[in-house]
Amino acid sequence: RKEVEQDPGPFNVPEGATVAFNCTYSNSASQSFFWYRQDCRKEPKLLMSVYSSGNEDGRFTAQLNRASQYISLLIRDSKLSDSATYLCVVNPSGNTPLVFGKGTRLSVIA
Amino acid sequence: DTEVTQTPKHLVMGMTNKKSLKCEQHMGHRAMYWYKQKAKKPPELMFVYSYEKLSINESVPSRFSPECPNSSLLNLHLHALQPEDSALYLCASSQEQGPGFEQYFGPGTRLTVT
C-alpha cells in the first residue's frame, strides 16, 4: 500500500459546485496532515493544516479520520480560481520527511 | 510574511558547467529544505538542514552539494549534471524540523541541463 494515496482525477466541476477529495495514509503513527494547492508550473502553497477536530477556512473544510486513516478536503461554491492540483501531505513522525500524495487535479468550468 | 525567495527563476546549463541555486527566508525558520519536482509528480525531498546542520540527505548524487551559510540562506551547488536532472528545484522552510510545522515553499528554479 502506498504511503499516501489520492485519486488523481481530473475532477471537472461547474462553478458553484461542491467538490470533495479524499486521501488515505498508511502509517497509523502519522502526526500531522496538510493540504497544499499547486498551480501549473508554480510552487506548492499551503492551503490548510488538518486538525483532529476538523477545521474550516472560508469555503474550505478539512477533516481527519484517524480510525480509518484518511483526510478529506471539501470545497464549497467552487470558483474558476480553485482550478489547481491539490496535494495531500502527511508528516509521519519525529524528523521523518513529509510524504506527498501524487495530487488530485481539479478543473472548475464556467 | 511567509515568503521564501529563490534565485535564479530559470537556469540553463551545460553538463560541464558549475552553477549555484540560492534560497533565502527571513521568517526566523530553523529548518530549510531542497526538493526536486518533475512534471506531473509530487516534490521529492533532497536535503534538510536544521539549525544550519545537514539533517537529512536522501541519497542524492554528489553532483548536488548543499550549503547553509547562515540561518537565512540555503544554497545548492550544481556540477556535472545530467539532462535527467532537469526539473523544478524548490526550496522550503519551516519553523522547526518535525511534525506539526508547516513548510513554506519558494517559487522554485526551473533548471534545464543541456
Chain B residue with Cα closest to A38: B42
Q: Return mean pLDDT, chain B.
A: 95
Residue A22 pairs in a beta bridge with A72
CA–CA distance, B70 with B85 (Å, rounded to integer): 27
Taking the CB of residue A106, how many other CB atoms lie within 10 A of it? Answer: 21
A45–B105 CB contact, under 8 Å: yes
pLDDT band at A93 (very low <50, low <70, confident <90, very high): confident
What percentage of chain A has pLDDT greater than the value 70?
Answer: 98
**Out of B43, B98, B108, whose CB is closest to A100?**
B43
pLDDT band at B98 (very low <50, low <70, confident <90, very high): confident
A34 touches chain B (CB under 8 A): yes
Q: What is the pLDDT of residues B46-89, one digit of tens each?
A: 999 999 999 999 999 999 999 999 999 999 999 999 999 999 99
Mutate to test the interface with B, among A36, A43, A47, A48 (most CBs of B within 10 A): A43
B60 touches chain A (CB under 8 A): no
B32 touches chain A (CB under 8 A): no
Task: Enter the C-alpha cell of residue A35.
Answer: 493540504
A98 touches chain B (CB under 8 A): yes
User: Looking at beta carbons, which pairs linking A56-61 to residues 24 or more positions away fall under 8 Å?
Assistant: A60/A35
Enumerate residues 6+ apart whose C-beta is below 8 A from A16: A77, A78
pLDDT band at B110 (very low <50, low <70, confident <90, very high): very high
Enumerate residues 6+ apart whose C-beta is below 8 A from B4: B23, B24, B25, B27, B91, B92, B93, B104, B105, B106
Residue A109 pairs in a beta bridge with A14
Task: Enter the C-alpha cell of residue B59.
Answer: 541519497
pLDDT band at B1 (very low <50, low <70, confident <90, very high): low
